[in-house]
Amino acid sequence: MALTELEIRSARATEKPIKLFDGDGLYLFVQPNGGRWWRFKYRFHGKERELSLGVYPEVSLKLARTRREDARRAVAQGIDPSAERKAAKEARQVTFELIAEEWLALQAKKLAPVTYDKARWMLSTFIYPRLGSRPIAEITAPELLAALRVIETRGTHETAHRTKQRVGQVFRYAIATGRAERDISVDLRGALAPIVTTHHAAITDPIAIGHLLRAIDGYSGQPVTVAALKLAPLMFVRPGELRQAEWSEINMDAAEWRIPGGRMKMREAHIVPLAKQAVEILRDLQPLTGRSRYVFPSLRSRDRPMSENAINAALRRLGYGHEEMTAHGFRAMASTCLNEQDWHPDLIELQLAHAERNKVRAAYNRSTRLADRKKMMQAWADHLDTLRAGAQVIQLRRQSG
């Protein structure tokens, strides 16, 4: 016989729990302490199971019956309501931060250290505070956009786009592991302010290059920074590759620096032929930093490389603004001048470690053109000496005039 509200209110707790049945598996469980719980008893695949439907009076008789009918329909459709509730609870515990940390742990084996550190910084700084504790399957596109807008308000539009890219990768990992159904970042296509592409400032005029080299020779900063400044135009590698150089990678007898693929942008090992001038600078530096892992260790700790901004900061102290010359600009300087001197474009691109889309051609270049690149790098170093001397002559003429 079905229960009534009067019967429920009149029921008194006893020394032992009692059950007040309403029908179709629904009953009210009255505990000795007075607590009253709605429960639904059902059979699924031949096994008896129970499902809690809430506490009376927060859950009224009418609402308890509605929940019972919902559960009965689920059973009729071959769905176990207890298992479904458990899965929903587990899904709520699968937060964005939990998935992101799993993804980052996998990326630590694939990404270059600087790239990994930036990915972790973007997620922990901009996404975790707002969305980290949210179940990943419940996060909406507007929520993600609001988090990215915070980055845009700082004027760092490229960081906003890169953060969105990392969030998308986390979502796709969650989809692959069965903990999300779709990547909501794709819904934000066109929602962020576009990135304004700017080229790294670089000096390419021969006379101006000579003046820059003379200024570097006169720089009175830390010896490690001075050495890095002098080697930047001779090697023209990416700033991150230069500052993270390790002594174990450099063979001064063979005049080569072999950079592991893990630190290269294109993820392939790279050989930098060392001109005589570069070897001389390294030999002078070795007594100072040779006991460190890094060729250019941080001033604060020999276990870390020099600051990411060290070379740019030195250029600013020399009077070169960010719109005039940057650490990355030494690559453009070498590329422009070497092309003007009619060195083969393949040699220049190979030495710049740019990607070669034709894999067969790329393999041929890597295996056969090292001798040619050694000649080019020595000729380039000699050319820089000529430009430096020319700048000195011009300076002396101006002083005498």
Predicted local distance difference test score (pLDDT) of residue 148: 94
Has residue 358 got a pLDDT over 50?
no
DSSP sequence for 56-75:
TTTS-HHHHHHHHHHHHHHH
Q: What is the CATH number of the domain that holds 344?
A: 1.10.443.10
Domain that holds residue 58: 5-90
What is the model's pLDDT at position 357?
43
Per-residue pLDDT band for 54 (boundaries 50, 70, 90) equals confident
Residues 113 and 54 in one domain: no
Q: Is residue 201 part of a domain?
A: no
The 10s digit of each residue's pLDDT in 22-38 is: 888 888 888 888 788 88
**How crowded is the C-beta side of 2, counted as CA atoms within 13 Å?**
7
d(CA 212, CA 5): 91
Q: 71, 24 in Cβ contact below 8 A?
A: no
Same domain, yes or no: 239 and 368: yes
> Do residues 219 and 291 both lie within one domain?
yes
For residue 395, what pLDDT is reported?
56
Q: What is the CATH number of the domain that holds 25?
A: 3.30.160.390
What are the tens digits of pLDDT across the range 130-187? 999 888 888 999 999 999 999 888 777 888 899 999 999 999 999 998 888 899 999 9
Does 198 fall in a domain? no
Task: Based on the fold, state whether residues 231 and 282 are members of the same structural domain.
Answer: yes
Out of 73, 90, 107, pick the residue that ends a domain: 90
> Residue 90: its pLDDT value, please?
61
In 218-305, alpha helices (H): 223-235, 239-243, 276-289
Q: Does residue 322 or residue 337 have the better pLDDT?
A: 337
Q: What is the mean pLDDT of residues 115-129?
A: 89
Could you tell me the CATH number of the domain that includes residue 162? Answer: 1.10.150.130
How confident is the model over 8-18, as a mean pLDDT? 81
199 falls within a domain: no
Distance CA 259, CA 271 (A): 6
Q: How confident is the model at residue 287 (pLDDT cuts 50, 70, 90)?
A: very high
Q: Mean pLDDT throughout 61-65? A: 89
- Encoded tokens for 114: 């600087």
Element containing residue 53 per DSSP (H, E)? strand 47-55
Total residue count of the chain as it appears in this document: 401
Most confident stretch, 8-22, 221-235, 339-353: 221-235
Quote the pLDDT of residue 89: 67
Q: What is the pLDDT of residue 118?
A: 85
- The mean pLDDT value for 327-337 works out to 90
Q: Do the Cβ atoms of 99 and 136 come closer than 8 Å? A: yes
How many domains would you assign to the chain? 3
With a cut of 70, say whether residue 368 has pLDDT above it: no
Amino acid 81: pLDDT: 81
Q: pLDDT grade, residue 401 (50/70/90)?
A: low
- For range 260-265, the mean pLDDT: 80
Q: Band of the pLDDT at 393, cuts 50, 70, 90?
A: low
Same domain, 300 and 357: yes
Q: Which residues are catalytic?
A: 238, 265, 328, 331, 354, 364
Cβ partners under 8 Å of residue 28, min gap 6: 3, 8, 11, 19, 20, 22, 36, 37, 38, 39, 56, 64
193 belongs to a structural domain? no
Residues 130, 158: one domain? yes
